[in-house]
Amino acid sequence: MKHAPLIAQNHMRCADCPIRHRAVCAYCEPPELAVLDAIKSYKTFQAGETIAWAGEEMEVLGSVVSGVATLSRTLADGRRQMVGLLLPSDFVGRPGRKSAPYDVVAASEVMICQFVKQDFEKLVSKTPPLERRLLDMTLDDLDAAREWMLLLGRKTAREKIASLLVIIARRDAILNSQDVVDGLRFALPLTREAMADYLGLTIETVSRQMSALKKTGVIVLEDARNVGIPDYAALIDEAGDDSDGGFIS
């Protein structure tokens, strides 16, 4: 699972940043970018490394530049539920509060464009485009969380798996700036355990449903982590969403 690691270029300019147009800075103009440029720094985390602990005070905030991180909550007896997946351009941290009640863990090697929390918050309150972008992103996150509540509360195991595959297929297509087409192939960025935590299932059930979808021909498994979608419409169908779609990219 080694991707070619991005080198943390401490002097990459915001204007050249790959997430420039989707991250919290998206609405900023060059003068505002210059300010961000001056106070930002890059930090890389290894796969499996914890970026922030639940309840621990965070001194930095930032954006995921590359890689995948997960947000999760844990019950006292160890039951764990993932409550968010952080992809490039997603925001890390909880502005306006000292700590957040969830663990942030790197699922792959992750590079973050970070800011000192206090400095960033001060800047946000003086920079309307930043604040507006943060609001829009938070509203989108809220929509996504509510979509996920529907999945967790009401979908069957098979529908949950299919839904997750749809999301990953979409994201993958977007990364390659193309539409989702039949025959798409992609690598799962999550282990079976992470999938289970995300879907509110056990790894055994995840595994069984993957096998079941494979047996039905809805997906093709080259190995445990490489999935092919011969018929995208069939997969959508398995996800059980009502026709109007509903997932927010």
Partner DNA sequence: CGTTCTCTTGACTCATCTCAAATCTGGTGG
Partner DNA sequence: CCACCAGATTTGAGATGAGTCAAGAGAACG
List residues binding its own copies (CB under 8 A): 55, 71, 73-77, 79-81, 83-84, 94-97, 100-102, 125, 128, 131-132, 134-136, 138-139, 141-143, 145-150, 152-155, 199-200, 240-244, 246
Stretch that binds DNA, among 11-19, 118-126, 153-161, 164-172 (CB under 7 A): 153-161
**Residue count at the site for DNA (CB under 7 A)?**
22
> Binding of DNA at residue 47 (CB under 7 A)?
no
User: CB 40 → its own copies: shortest distance, Å?
Assistant: 21
Stretch that binds DNA, among 18-26, 59-67, 125-133, 200-208 (CB under 7 A): 200-208
Q: Which of 130, 206, 235, 236 binds DNA (CB under 7 A)?
A: 206
List the single partner that 22 binds among its own copies, DNA, none, CB under 5 to 8 Å by kind: none
> Binding of DNA at residue 200 (CB under 7 A)?
yes
Q: Which amino acid is at 107?
A: A
User: CB 183 → its own copies: shortest distance, Å?
Assistant: 27
Q: Which of 208, 234, 237, 247 binds DNA (CB under 7 A)?
A: 208
User: CB 221 → its own copies: shortest distance, Å?
Assistant: 25
Q: Which is nearer to its own copies, 184 or 236 (CB)?
A: 236
Q: Which is nearer to its own copies, 51 or 199 (CB)?
A: 199
CA–CA gap between residue 141 and residue 146 (Å, rounded): 9
Q: Which is nearer to its own copies, 10 or 243 (CB)?
A: 243
Q: Which residues contact 189 (CB under 8 A, 6 or more apart)?
A: 68, 107, 108, 168
User: CB 159 → DNA: shortest distance, Å?
Assistant: 8
CA proximity to 51, closest of 97, 94, 5: 94
Residues that bind DNA (CB under 7 A): 2, 156-158, 191-193, 200-208, 210-211, 221, 223-225
